[in-house]
Structure 1
């Protein structure tokens, strides 16, 4: 019987690695010969259902990877071994290419190459400055306390129209990009229960638990659940802020316009969400700065940090606006907060947020495949 090293050598000889997709295919051939990490996450069972790795398969597996790092620290072929297997980095390099490839409109896919920390801060600062100047020119920047009445500074119709258009554009661009990705990975026949399991895995961040549920590897071999917890605070904080805005909108059209008391649903939801968006992104930034140098793609860290910075600025300016809404600084704080939120919406389709959409699609395909006979899972349906 041939040894594992001989099988691995064959995999290296037969898999091209001239592109990031080729490098993932090479590493997956090696992993298919080893199978040590088969129970670590959804990537390796999905890998084991394949004998070859076409571009669509590589795109699917790359977005199924959560970059938890467990396989890298467990791998006997990881650098400095000559086989240089680094699945988290190879997958990350392909992932960002899928975001650019499927982006809508297509020419804007190039923004993924430049959407870093400086661009995020410049966009937020520029939009905030524009709104400050508009208020200054119209005489609305300096004012006596208005008891938190934002619409005395900017009319409700103007705010709703401006941010409604920006948010609708972001949703449309992300939906079209995800639909293009979904068509490429050929999801196959719908299977009962697949959607519910995929939703649970996405909402619970199941695969940020590492191979044995102990968590991810960050700066060393120690397992920690910190990244899962900070992701949860960020995600649910964002949802609570969105819920706050939605409830306030419904109350406005039901005849109960702002301002709302501190004990009202919009304020309570917004406060809880703002705290989540403060603690979660701050923790993710801390982990990002400390991660092992072999984890992920270092070239993408400016994009990661840019998105984190916008989330942090959204929470800081929002909480500051809440705290000082009954002062003469309310208009200035409102302009700063709205500028940051507008920058967040406009950059959502071309930054780190896209990974959530593509990953959910990949998780759905994964749970669908698990319910297929092996021949169908290999694409023979």
Structure 2
């Protein structure tokens, strides 16, 4: 008699026409496979999020399946509170915790270059703040040496223009290589992730309809609704939309700040309109609105993260989560302070702090919590592609 594992492999191979190798799994991945087997028999949570319809298309859960499902999970907590087999039941089913542990492992395994993968385990709050302090000090020393002493840091006559302290070309020379490395490192990591999970998710190429739906899911943060539209769980059994709203403020605030930088670059190079900008210019409008949204969103995420019940995720990843939140808050708050203080003697110091925070954020992007958005987007693209294909086992919620 064939095992479920053999049946699942045969069904997958028939659907994709490819031989899918069996890769040894870690303890965290084994735990996800175990709980998914139990959930696949129960299916009470079938309508909660994308994880459970995707689960029903599988009879067994190999490494690629587990990594795919873990990054598809949005950690809303609804399944934990609905589960009759959750702790203290002897089955000990805790989907949010199991998925979070595998996600953390995914970031390490797919980091590029691989040698830097261990930075995920050390990219905590203390490291993030120490990096900001070190980079700010470096910029302060540079400004002091360039400007001829401490007078360059307090009360210097910069004419409300920080390019008088750090020329535009110097800033481009510092940030452009780091930005390009971030894009390349994240692209290499998600490319490997995509290559591994594609055969396990039907093997089909992404269609326009699948890409459109996945984009909508990402932009709306669809699966932070708790499965019923009432929001996520936090420290108790009550639903709350606070987490979804804080994520929206953070996400769109970050996008607006990035858009402000992009528009300012176009102004500078295409229209010969160098900074600084003020209202009602588009870069300033986008940056001010985005900065306020980002500051409010990250402050909300900080509070919610500190209040979250330990069963709702992997507590060992909290330092990484808080480090990323702190960096985003420092970038937004120092940017707003720099704008408001551009006519004060503190302009140079505020500029050094802001640039130090931005540099620290850029340096840690490929090896911090930012990566989860990239991998989750890839998982949503594969989910929306897979569900449009025939179900290989003839059973499921699609």
Shift of 1:143: 4.2
Report the secondary structure of 2:309's partner residue: coil
2:156 equivalent to 1:144: yes
Name the TM-score, length of structure 1 as normaliser.
0.93
Aligned to 1:42: 50
Aligned to 1:322: 339
Number of equivalenced pairs = 363
8 A Cα contact 2:57 2:393, kept in partner: no
Q: 1:142, 1:287 → 2: CA distance?
A: 37
Aligned to 2:250: 234
Question: 1:62 is matched with which residue: 65, 70, 75?
Answer: 70
Aligned to 1:13: none
Shift of 1:328: 2.0
2:283 equivalent to 1:266: yes
Report the secondary structure of 2:236's partner residue: coil
8 A Cα contact 1:17 1:25, kept in partner: no
Residue correspondence of structure 1 range 1-381 to structure 2 within 5 A: 19-139=27-147, 140-186=152-198, 187=201, 188-190=203-205, 191-253=207-269, 254-375=271-392
Could you report, residue by residue, the CA deviation over 1:48-88 in whole angstroms, capped at 9, with x for unpaired residues?
10000000000000000000000000000000101000000
Q: 2:128, 2:167 → 1: CA distance?
A: 27
The verdict on how the C-alpha distance between 1:17 and 1:105 changes in structure 2, with shifts beyond 3 A counting, is: closer
Shift of 1:377: 9.5
Q: 2:26, 2:351 → 1: CA distance?
A: 50
8 A Cα contact 1:17 1:26, kept in partner: no
Q: 1:376, 1:173 → 2: CA distance?
A: 37
Q: 1:376, 1:48 → 2: CA distance?
A: 9
The verdict on how the C-alpha distance between 1:266 and 1:192 changes in structure 2, with shifts beyond 3 A counting, is: closer
Name the TM-score, length of structure 2 as normaliser.
0.89
Q: 1:142, 1:223 → 2: CA distance?
A: 49
Q: 2:347, 2:78 → 1: CA distance?
A: 47
8 A Cα contact 1:147 1:259, kept in partner: no
The runs of 5 or more residues in structure 1 that have no matched partner are 1-15
What RMSD in Å do the two structures reach over aligned CA positions? 1.5
Q: State the 4+ residue runs in structure 1 displaced beyond 6 angstroms.
A: none
Shift of 1:307: 0.2
Shift of 1:144: 3.4
Q: 1:74, 1:363 → 2: CA distance?
A: 23
After alignment, is 144-153 or 243-252 more displaced? 144-153
8 A Cα contact 1:307 1:352, kept in partner: yes
8 A Cα contact 2:204 2:386, kept in partner: no
Shift of 1:259: 1.8
Q: 1:138, 1:177 → 2: CA distance?
A: 39
After alignment, is 199-208 or 264-273 more displaced? 264-273
Shift of 1:168: 1.1
Aligned to 1:5: none
8 A Cα contact 2:123 2:319, kept in partner: yes
Q: 2:342, 2:177 → 1: CA distance?
A: 26
The verdict on how the C-alpha distance between 1:211 and 1:315 changes in structure 2, with shifts beyond 3 A counting, is: same
8 A Cα contact 2:58 2:393, kept in partner: no
Q: 2:295, 2:32 → 1: CA distance?
A: 35
Shift of 1:148: 2.2
8 A Cα contact 1:233 1:277, kept in partner: yes
The verdict on how the C-alpha distance between 1:192 and 1:138 changes in structure 2, with shifts beyond 3 A counting, is: closer
Shift of 1:329: 1.3
Q: 1:225, 1:339 → 2: CA distance?
A: 33
Q: 2:159, 2:247 → 1: CA distance?
A: 35
Could you report, residue by residue, the CA deviation over 1:264-308 in whole angstroms, capped at 9, with x for unpaired residues?
111111110110111000000110011112110000000000000
